[in-house]
Amino acid sequence: MSRRRVIVGLVGLALVAVVAVVFWPRSPRPCRATFELVREGMTYGEVCATVGGPAGHYADWSVPPRLREMGTARWVANDAELAVSWDPYGVIYEVSISDPPPDPRPPLERIRACFRR
């Protein structure tokens, strides 16, 4: 009877761990939903906080060059791309959301990447 209780307890503990991992709150990851919250008049720091990270490449494929230049920054996610431009005072004056560049990986590599997550 003692062995049975240990097994039931371990199974219960594993179930609780799986539920905790699935429902654990995560910080916002850059995506189209966070990009659409960006407005003109924000500062670069406010944009980074809203989007969920600094300008960068958050998609599953290779990094395009020059994500941040003087006065502009880009965020690339799997479902959208955000580009912002700011004035000398650091205030955003132009916001552009577009579809992301195509994924250059072959189809088989994209399928494998889905199972690696």
Residue 66 is predicted with a pLDDT of: 58
pLDDT at 6 over 70: yes
pTM: 0.63
More confident residue, 117 or 49: 49
Q: Residue 68 is encoded by which pair of tokens?
A: 């941040």
Residue 97 is predicted with a pLDDT of: 92
pLDDT, tens digit (0-9, with 9 covering 90-100), for 34-58:
999 999 999 988 998 999 888 887 8
Tell me the DSSP string of the chain.
-HHHHHHHHHHHHHHHHHHHHHH---PPPPSHHHHTT--TT-BHHHHHHHHTSSSEE-SSSPPPS-SEETTEEEEE-SS-EEEEEE-TTSBEEEEEEEPPPPP-S-HHHHHHHHHH-
Task: Spell out the domains of the chain, with CATH numbers in brackets.
Answer: 27-116 (3.30.1450)
Tell me if 67 sits within 8 A of 74, measured CB to CB: yes
